[in-house]
Structures are given as C-alpha cells and as structure tokens.
A and B are shown apart, each in its own frame.
Chain A
C-alpha cells in the first residue's frame, strides 16, 4: 500500500500525462475510423456562431471578388439558357431528365482549411434548412465535398482535399470511369485512379463527375489533368489533376439534394440483400 502511495506521489505528473495522452489518442483513433468528427467540431452552435461572426467581417473585404464570381456564373447560366432555348421545342434534351432530380440549397462558407490531411468546410445551413448527412456540395465551378455532420444551424463537410474522400469521375472525352482521391501531399494536386493506360488521355483534359453516385449531378467539371504517366506496375495511368475550383477561396457553395436519393439507395440495398 505504501508502495502505491509512494508511486502516486512520485509519478503523479507522469501518470496524468499518460492518462491525458490516452484520452487524446482515443479521440484521434475514433475520428480516423469514422467518416465524421465524432466529438467537438465546428458544426456545433457555439463554435459555428463565433466563426460566422468573424467570417461576416472577413467577407466584407471580399465583396468585390465575390461579386465578380457570381457575375461570371450568371453569364455562364445565361448562355446555357440561350443554348437550351435554341433547341426545337419537340426535341428532348438527353440530360434534362437526369438533371431535374437535383435541387440546390445555397449556403455560405463559415470556416475552411486546406492544410490538414482531412480538411473540413463549415457552412451556415443545417438541419433546419433540410440538410442531412451524406449530401454532396458543389461550387459554381466544381465539386467541393460531402456533408458529414449536421447540427441545427450549421453543417460540416469533408472537403475533396481529404485522404478519406473518394468521388467517382469520368474522363470527359472518352467517357472512361475513374475515381478521384488525394494522397495527402500537395493540396493543389489530386489524383485520379482507374483510368486505363490504353485510353487516349492528354494533358489539360477535363475530368467531370460520373453521376453514378446519387451525390453529384453528372458532367460537372471537377478537375484538369496536369501530369500523366503510365504506371508500370498496373494497367492504369498515374495522374495528377488540378481542381477547377479554388477550394481555399470559396465563399458561396451549393448543397446538392437528390430528390430520388432514398429511392436509389433503397433499390441498391435490396439488390445487395437478395
């Protein structure tokens, strides 16, 4: 008994240290093994509100560039409307049936980072606005991430610049399927795997969303091929791509809500169960 008492008085700092480290390592382990931040995170009302207050001051200084970005998007959408109007009224747009399933919810970025191996984006819309876990996020010119945590007024999304995110994509010219992921090194270069060496892929080709997952609408530009070399140990290309949107300077984004997601998911679940 006296021995234990002696040990406690002698080594209580070390014992506390080991205990606290075990707590911290458990936290890390838990976040590593789930697709979300389990404990404290910025979708929480307290943290969210503080970051939002600061962000509202900060966004004041970016009004000019935000306006420009929104105007560019307007121009692009206006051109698109013209283009669609020019179709004869009796012809059917091949993509229209696909695209009307998707509904967009506009949101503002409250907090954002690119300097970790799993990066999160906090947005100012939550459960109240109809956002649920697992929805995709796009910006005016690319893919941003996937919602992982939702609170009443805020939600948290895992950005595409995360080692845990995988998005199915398509090489625009050849329609070949691949998957977009990140190796955790340079946040300005992501990787695309699964594209066969036999395909005629060139530098500066566009990678778009595949549209197979119920997260993103098809044919949204995602990235541009930057470097490209055949992988000698497999039948695929090794490819570095650059995202079409600048994740770090994002201010406004759209949450994509797929009206038929539940239907698709339950259908796929049935198929697996059979």
Chain B
C-alpha cells in the first residue's frame, strides 16, 4: 500500500511540474498567472509526516524557481503551503477523525470539502506569491487584483483536473 502511494505521488509530482513549467508558465494571459503545482502538496496522504511534507514543499519550490527564474518566490510560498496544510487538515477533519490511509482528494472527501480545502490553501499560496513578488504593500489593490484573477484561473484548472479524475473512478 505504501509503495502504491509513493508511485502515484511521484507520477503526480512529475506530471504537475512538467505541466506548470512547459505549459502554464508560458501562457500569454498577462496578469493571470495559473499555478497548479501546489496540488502536489495538497494531495499527499494525510499521514505523511509533517516534516516530510515541509521538505517536499521546499524542494519542489526550488525546482520551480530554477525552471522559471522565480528567484525564491515559488519556494517561499509553497513552503508556507506545506506548513499550513496540517492546520487546515486538522481543522477540517471528518467527524470520526482521519483514518490511516486517507488522502485529501475529491474522491474520498467529497466535492464541497475539496472545494474549501483547495480554496484556502491556494489562497494562502497565491497571496504570498504575489505579495512577495512586489516585496511591499505598495499598489495593494493592483496586487490583490492579480492575486484574485490568478486564483480563479488556477482553481478552475485544478477543479477541472479533479473532475476528470472523479469520472475515471466511477468507470
């Protein structure tokens, strides 16, 4: 069972990073910057040790910075996602608590739960990314605007991906 988790998570890791670097980084949308790679951290099994989640987040961020000349932005924002993930999971745990093999995805936790989970963690990520990018609160509203439209773009893609993965399960 453990092996299966490692393989599926590694495949997801490479696919999402490739999609991010080769496709979403080069889209000509201007202010909208679609970032789907936080999904790598969000979909790790619930009982992945917190320190491991944190380190995976940090190194994933470094890889993204390396391939998209981010200069530390992806690292800083994704590490924060890696840290706060546990707090969100803790707050939103099912009534009976988390089970050993639980994965926080749309198939196991349902659409509404997944909606809030992705919304909160992607908001943390995008907010940090865009405010660290300008490195100040100057032009606050224009940065917020950028954050929000990018969030809408990223979450649309993320929910689309999870809808497809849901259908696959049913068949």
**Interface set of A (CB-CB < 8 Å, partner B):** 12-14, 16-17, 20-21, 23-28, 30-32, 37-42, 44, 47, 50-51, 54, 111-118, 120, 122, 156, 183-188, 248-249
Minimum CB distance partner of A13 in chain B: B50
Selecting from B3-11, B24-32, B114-122, the interface stretch reads B24-32
Instruction: Check B1 for interface membership: any CB of A closer than 8 A.
Output: no
Interface contact A54-B76, CB-CB below 8 Å: no
CA distance A37 to B70 in the complex (A): 8
| A116-B33 contact in complex given A16-B54, A41-B66, C-beta closer than 8 Å | yes
Give chain A residues whose Cβ lies under 8 Å from the Cβ of B51: 12-13, 16
Q: Are A17 and B26 in contact (CB under 8 A)?
A: no
Min Cβ gap B61→A in Å is 7
A114–B28 CA distance with the chains assembled, in angstroms? 7
Q: Is B133 an interface residue (CB 8 A)?
A: yes
Q: With A21-B80, A40-B62, A120-B69 as known contacts, state yes or no: A28 contacts B30, CB within 8 Å.
A: no
Residue B105 is within 8 A (CB to CB) of chain A in the complex: no
Q: Are B30 and A115 in contact (CB under 8 A)?
A: yes
Say whether B66 contacts A40, CB under 8 Å. yes
Task: Indicate if B72 sits at the interface (CB-CB under 8 A).
Answer: yes
Q: A115 touches which one: B22, B33, B72, B135 (CB < 8 A)?
A: B33
Residues of B within 8 A of A32 (CB): 71, 135
Docked CA distance A28–B65 (Å): 10
Does the CB pair B33–A20 fall under 8 Å?
Answer: no
A249 close to B28 (CB less than 8 A): yes
Query: Which among B67, B73, B80, B82 has the highest number of chain A CB atoms within 10 Å?
Result: B67
Asked whether, in the complex, the Cβ of B30 is within 8 Å of the Cβ of A188, the reply is yes
8 Å CB contact of B72 from A16, A25, A156: A25
Determine whether the beta carbon of A31 is less than 8 Å from that of B72: yes
Residues of A within 8 A of B65 (CB): 27, 40
- Pairs of residues from A and B, 10 with the lowest C-beta to C-beta distance, nearest first: A27-B72, A31-B71, A40-B66, A24-B76, A28-B72, A115-B33, A24-B75, A248-B28, A120-B69, A17-B83
Q: Give CA–CA (A44, B65) in the complex, Å.
A: 12
Write out the residue numbers on chain B whose beta carbons fall within 8 Å of the beta carbon of A187.
Answer: 30-31
**Which residues of the other chain, B, contact A47 by a CB distance below 8 angstroms?**
66-67
B171 contacts partner chain A, Cβ-Cβ < 8 Å: no
Chain A residues whose CB sits within 8 angstroms of the CB of B28 once the complex forms: 114, 248-249
Q: How far is the CA of A12 from the CA of B132 in the complex (A)?
A: 25
A115 touches B29 (CB 8 A): yes
B127 to chain A, nearest CB (A): 15
- Smallest distance from the beta carbon of A62 to chain B beta carbons, Å? 12
Interface residue from B22, B58, B71, B73 paired with A20 (Cβ < 8 Å)? B58
- Specify which chain B residues have a CB less than 8 angstroms from the CB of A20 in the assembled complex: 54, 58, 75, 79
> B71–A54 contact, CB under 8 A?
no
Partner of B26, one of A13, A112, A183: A112
From B25, B31, B83, give the contact of A113 (CB < 8 A): B25
Is A27 a contact of B58 with CB atoms below 8 Å?
Answer: no
The reply to whether B67 and A185 contact each other, CB–CB distance below 8 Å, is no
Instruction: Tell me whether A42 and B58 are in contact in the complex, defined as CB-CB below 8 angstroms, given that A21-B80, A32-B135 are known contacts.
Output: no
